[in-house]
Structure 1
Amino acid sequence: MGASLSRHRFAWLVTASVAAFAVLGSGAVALGAATAPSPVAATPTATPTPTPTETTPPPRPVSTVEQTASPLRTCSVAWLLDDGRFGKLQAQVLTADGQLLFERDPATASQTASSMKVLTAAAALNVLGPDFRATTRVVAGAEPGTIVLVGGGDLTLTRLPSGQEPVYTGAAHLDDLAGKAKAEWESRFPGTPITRIVLDSSYFGGKTWGDTWPPTERGTGWLSHITALQVDADRADPRVFLSQRGDDPVGRAGAAFAQYFGGVSVEQGTAPPGAAELASVSSQPLSTLIPQFLIPSDNSLAEMVARHVAIALGAGNTIDALATAIPEALRVYGIDTSALRIADGSGMSRNNAVAPSYLTALFVKIHAREGNLGILRDGLPVAGESGTLNYSNRFFGDNAVARGHVRAKSGSISSAYTLTGMIDAADGSTLIFAIFATGNVGASARTAIDTLTTAFYRCGGNLSNN
């Protein structure tokens, strides 16, 4: 190939040039094809889409009040809540200033048992005032030689001689009333003997026994017939709290009064209008009566006070009048009373219905001594120290640690056991609480309630709602 190239140099140059030109030409054609513009089809002119106007959202309101994080509370009582002794459990716990710590179905109105007495006391302090006293009078009768013993709704009046104290310390004495009446009679009607006594119990009206009150409560000494005239709340023994009650409290009072006048006739009736008063005696003030019915849970005395509330409000003088009178009297405290159902003043009726949350709201005010409510606060039983919370079946064993630290009103009827009030907790905080155990319950519910209360005491302000 080299020899050929030497012999024919010119021919090879021509051939190479031709080849190079062919290659270069092909590349140019290809390059031109690659860069030439493609044909574009004609399209109609589109209407331009308007550009949306950009808006700035209004600024979010920011509170000027400094927000404080809620504390993380870690003390749980959940392990106690499934105790079958509770039946149906309802409960609520608040701080002293009303902040919620714990609750289980607190808004359902349920049977109260004797926790109802807290409402009765609060109603009475508003309507009657702490200085209210119930008065028993003797007036001249319509016929010569007749006097009328007029009951004014003082069930504490005692037939014990002056100088002897009954269950109701400081009560008025029947012998004092009789002595005053005899002296005034002799002054007004000298030489005219008293030969007849009329007993007037008309200040209270209607039925004397609640529809659902068990009759056995008279035999066990927990409740008397509610009449405006009676002595020692109709106890067989005026010095024994749980002394048997009778079936005729007016007759018992009349017989006790008549003994100071010799052989006179005694009958029931009413005083003539405008009769001249011969003598009177009065009960202790309401400020004394309230602890006398709260601490030992005196049903008769609570019913007496409730009836006076109804009379003072013009609602009537019967037990049925309490349904409207007690809620009306409680409205002053600013707590919604629309769900209250009131059947009596003592809580003995299973027809009462109050929500635990109502009681805790009221106890916030009681603890703060709002109005005259400090009297109620000071008149409550204290665990291990007084009244129904000092019985051997309350706050014993492991629960004894809470003795002296729980100030509350207990309640017990066959279908409801309750406890509501205040706890001075172990950490120094004050708790407001209510516990209801209703439905299929028995006396052992008291211990379950005390155990839960003691757990609240131990947790204090660290009580968790979980």
Structure 2
Amino acid sequence: MKRRRRTTAIVAAGVVAFALLGTGAVFAGAATGTSDPSPRAIVAVSPTPTITTPPPRPVPGAATAASRVRTCSVAGLATDPRLANFQAQVTNATTGEVLFDRGGTTPSRTASVLKVLTSAAALSVLGPDYRATTTVARGAEPGSVVLVGGGDLTLSRLPSGQESAYAGAPHLDTLAAQTVAAWQADPATAGTPISSLVLDSSMFGDPGWEPSWNRKELRDGYMPEITALQVDGDRDNPARSTSARSGDPIGRAGAAFADALADAGAPGVTVTRGTAPAGAAALASVQSQPVSTLIQQALIVSDNALAEMLARLTAVKAGAGNTFGALQKATVDGLAPYGIDTAGIVIADGSGLSDNNAVPPSYLTRLFIKINAREGNLGVIYDGLPVAGKTGSLSYSDRFSGVNAAADGAVFAKTGWIDTGYTLAGIIHSADGTPLTFAIYALGDVSDNAKTALDTITTGFFRCGNNLSNY
């Protein structure tokens, strides 16, 4: 029994010892057996860490589309010294993307490419069906009639049945025959002669010659004085597009109408200048071709007289005035409905002959996008553009010849030339089928060979199409 109790005691002591070990030996003195217990050692317990979620990484709202890398370069052609001070812009006419640009937003002189703006403004203000009217009215004095110019520079002195440089133009002999018939049919004047002719050109104001124009343009046959009364654009030869001008278009028209009156049965009239009485009754009238036809005749061979006629009629109809000074407001306001920014545009005339005109190539590329789409009445302009190797001023032997003939039939563009620059702007049906619009200027010290350089880079645009690189 003692042995059992002893064994039980030993087991109990072991349990106590195990329990003490399980407490982690809180009392350190017990572990060392010293009689002076040490202070209690406090075990620091780390707080449970707080788990935080990092903010999400920013994600683009939409994936960025990759930009196309275009590889067809015309950079070498753009440095051709024949282009002198070169400016250009080319756009994809479908997307509006600018493919090529060299100073494209800088307004500069345009030469005859300005006729495109003149035409667009005329379509906006006058409309495609407007016709200029030349009238004969009764004069203030007995026996007098007044020939009132209505701004029709196409009125022809050639006999009816003969075509002038302006196909379909009205004729003075028709007007004279109407005048004499109406005079004789009126009981108040029947049996009395027409004895005097008054010439009224007051619809357009002076001067007739824009001060910045070189006077040689008149002698060389490219520009007349701009008057509301004249015949055949004041040409010496009515049937030729380029023919010297007289410098007195009103006098030439008056003499030709006096002859026509004589042929119609009213000979011997005296000719003076003046204005028709207010409210004077009309005896006869003839009308020009509609604006749509006049625009196409002006663009195809770059006729300066027609362009100035359209610009001045636009200014008069818009109420801007009747002089060169009215053209800035009239033309820019006339372009406003097309919705293209006109900032920086300067309009000195309607033909582009002045160095003072200024239009950025970028305006032209945007306008030609609308022309290509035939927005509104702008298809009239498209149909009047010369075509490379085919029609008008792009069909001459020095345009798009040799290797540049590759673009024949694919470039629809307005040409321009003045002493200080050559220009070309329009639409290209490129080799890959992409429609392009373009405007290129070669300005400064240039010579006739600039035309070939313009054709060469235009052919480069044609070959590249939508793969055209800006580098």
- 2:105 maps to a residue whose letter is A
How far apart, in 1, do the equivalents of 2:54 and 2:351 lie? 67
How far apart, in 2, do the equivalents of 1:318 and 1:96 lie? 36
**Structure 1 residue 264 corresponds to structure 2 residue 262:** no
* Structure 1 residues 321-355: Cα deviation after superposition (integer angstroms, max 9, x where no partner): 00111011101111111210010000000000000
Alignment of 1:283-302 (within 5 A): 283-302=288-307
CA shift for structure 1 position 72? 2.2
Aligned partner of 1:83 in structure 2 is 80
Aligned partner of 1:199 in structure 2 is 199
Aligned partner of 2:169 in structure 1 is 171
CA shift for structure 1 position 56? 3.3
CA shift for structure 1 position 465? 1.0
CA shift for structure 1 position 132? 0.4
How far apart, in 2, do the equivalents of 1:406 and 1:68 lie? 32
Aligned partner of 2:322 in structure 1 is 317
**Structure 1 residue 353 corresponds to structure 2 residue 358:** yes
Aligned partner of 1:383 in structure 2 is 388
* Structure 1 residues 208-259: Cα deviation after superposition (integer angstroms, max 9, x where no partner): 0011111111111111000000000000111111111111000000000001
Aligned partner of 2:411 in structure 1 is 406
- 2:202 maps to a residue whose letter is S
Aligned partner of 1:254 in structure 2 is 254
Structure 1 gaps of 5+ residues are 1-31, 33-50
CA shift for structure 1 position 397? 1.2
Change (3 A) 1:104 1:190: same
Alignment of 1:270-285 (within 5 A): 270-285=275-290
CA shift for structure 1 position 387? 1.1
How far apart, in 1, do the equivalents of 2:61 and 2:68 lie? 22
CA shift for structure 1 position 70? 3.1
How far apart, in 2, do the equivalents of 1:388 and 1:209 lie? 25
SS where residue 243 of structure 1 aligns? coil
Aligned partner of 1:9 in structure 2 is none
**Structure 1 residue 107 corresponds to structure 2 residue 129:** no
Alignment of 1:2-81 (within 5 A): 56=55, 60=59, 62-63=61-62, 68-81=65-78
**Structure 1 residue 304 corresponds to structure 2 residue 301:** no
- Among candidates 391, 397, 400, match of residue 395 of structure 1: 400
Aligned residues: 417
How far apart, in 2, do the equivalents of 1:257 and 1:376 lie? 33
* Structure 1 residues 181-231: Cα deviation after superposition (integer angstroms, max 9, x where no partner): 110011111111100000000000021001111111111111100000000
Aligned partner of 2:27 in structure 1 is none
How far apart, in 2, do the equivalents of 1:321 and 1:410 lie? 25
* Structure 1 residues 114-140: Cα deviation after superposition (integer angstroms, max 9, x where no partner): 000000000001110000000000000
* Structure 1 residues 300-331: Cα deviation after superposition (integer angstroms, max 9, x where no partner): 11000000111111100111100111011101
How far apart, in 2, do the equivalents of 1:286 and 1:170 lie? 12
SS where residue 322 of structure 1 aligns? helix
CA shift for structure 1 position 461? 1.3
- Among candidates 150, 158, 161, match of residue 160 of structure 1: 158
- Among candidates 148, 159, 164, match of residue 146 of structure 2: 148
Aligned partner of 2:8 in structure 1 is none
SS where residue 89 of structure 2 aligns? strand
Aligned partner of 2:465 in structure 1 is 460
Aligned partner of 2:455 in structure 1 is 450
Percent identity between matched residues is: 59
How far apart, in 1, do the equivalents of 2:222 and 2:74 lie? 34
SS where residue 227 of structure 1 aligns? coil
- 1:437 maps to a residue whose letter is A
- TM-score normalised to structure 1 length: 0.87
SS where residue 434 of structure 1 aligns? strand
- 1:62 maps to a residue whose letter is G
CA shift for structure 1 position 442? 1.6
Query: Could you tell which deviates more after superposition, 168-177 or 258-267?
Result: 258-267
Structure 2 gaps of 5+ residues are 1-31, 33-49
Change (3 A) 1:71 1:187: same
- 1:200 maps to a residue whose letter is D
How far apart, in 1, do the equivalents of 2:78 and 2:321 lie? 43
Query: Could you tell which deviates more after superposition, 384-393 or 298-307?
Result: 384-393
How far apart, in 2, do the equivalents of 1:223 and 1:385 lie? 25
How far apart, in 1, do the equivalents of 2:428 and 2:86 lie? 19
Aligned partner of 1:418 in structure 2 is 423
CA shift for structure 1 position 59? 5.2
Alignment of 1:220-239 (within 5 A): 220-239=220-239
Aligned partner of 1:26 in structure 2 is none
SS where residue 103 of structure 1 aligns? strand
How far apart, in 2, do the equivalents of 1:54 and 1:346 lie? 72
- 2:77 maps to a residue whose letter is L
- 2:176 maps to a residue whose letter is A
Query: Could you tell which deviates more after superposition, 127-136 or 78-87?
Result: 78-87
How far apart, in 2, do the equivalents of 1:264 and 1:373 lie? 45
SS where residue 244 of structure 2 aligns? coil
How far apart, in 1, do the equivalents of 2:426 and 2:402 lie? 21
- 1:70 maps to a residue whose letter is S
Aligned partner of 1:186 in structure 2 is 184
**Structure 1 residue 93 corresponds to structure 2 residue 90:** yes
How far apart, in 2, do the equivalents of 1:239 and 1:118 lie? 25
Aligned partner of 1:138 in structure 2 is 136
